[in-house]
């Protein structure tokens, strides 16, 4: 096995060991134990019930503001938990976050999100030489730098990108200049979202960002359907 792959596996091992040793959070996939075996890692971890958030978006296209907040609030708390405990960054993308839908009539919350540590996602992308699993990503192209502890402002930017996707049904534009306002948010709400997408935003905590985002919602009731057309007015 090439040395760079060994280096990556050891970086993943260190990151997951921190996860296993640190306190658990209900919105983070739990890592129980990590061991090295013949140049591979064997990880015991929680397997959350539910579906990827991306699958839910394919079913519903977009989430209402209330539904989006049901997903985002626990993830914001998880970001703060990771920062406070020096844990690896979380994988806050719609394809990685798992949501367990419940029956609101039975008293269950509509969404209970679980996000994996990025180290666990990277590990799932490595080829298992013993069992011949398909390699999804060439591990030699992955840098251990992606496993470093993430500044909270970067986590807020990731949360903002997820918020944009949940409310608009599409990913954030690659260029900031291509951002167009999304209809569930007022001008103030869109301005808040654009600020958070920049990794130098002034928000101290993810919860602060979500509080301001919620106050900029046009639709107070989560049962209220937004109009089909979007406000394309540029923000000043």
Q: What is the pLDDT of residues 43-52, one digit of tens each?
A: 888 888 889 9
Which three-class secondary structure state does DSSP give residue 198? coil
Two tokens at 108?
């269950």
Average pLDDT over all residues of the chain: 81
Please say if the pLDDT value at position 138 is more than 60. no
Average pLDDT of the residues in 98-107: 67
Query: Which domains does the chain carry?
Result: 3-215 (1.10.510.10)
For residue range 156-168, list pLDDT tens digits in order. Answer: 999 999 999 999 9
With pLDDT > 90 as the criterion, what percentage of the chain qualifies? 48
CA 19/CA 32 separation, integer angstroms:
8
In this prediction, residue 131 carries a pLDDT of: 47
């Amino acid at each position: 096995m090439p040395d760079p792959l060994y280096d990556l596996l050891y970086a993943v091992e260190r990151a997951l060991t921190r996860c296993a040793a640190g306190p658990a959070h209900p919105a983070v996939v739990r890592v129980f134990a990590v061991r090295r075996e013949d140049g591979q890692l064997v990880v015991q971890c929680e397997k959350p019930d539910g579906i990827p958030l991306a699958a839910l978006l394919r079913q519903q296209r977009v989430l209402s503001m209330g539904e989006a907040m049901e997903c985002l609030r626990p993830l914001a708390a998880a970001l703060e938990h990771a920062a406070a405990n020096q844990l690896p960054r979380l994988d806050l993308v719609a394809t990685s976050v798992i949501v367990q839908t419940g029956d609101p009539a039975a008293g269950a919350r509509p969404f209970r999100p679980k996000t994996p540590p990025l180290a666990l996602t990277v590990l799932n992308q490595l080829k298992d030489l013993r069992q011949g699993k398909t390699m999804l990503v060439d591990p030699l192209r992955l840098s251990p730098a992606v496993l470093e502890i993430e500044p909270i402002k970067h986590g807020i930017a990731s949360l903002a990108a997820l918020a944009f996707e949940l409310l608009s049904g599409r990913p954030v534009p690659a260029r900031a200049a291509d951002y167009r306002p999304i209809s569930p948010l007022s001008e103030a709400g869109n301005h808040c979202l654009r600020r958070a997408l920049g990794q130098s935003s002034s928000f101290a905590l993810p919860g602060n960002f979500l509080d301001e985002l919620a106050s900029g919602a046009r639709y107070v009731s989560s049962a209220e359907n937004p109009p089909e057309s979007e406000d394309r007015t540029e923000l000043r």
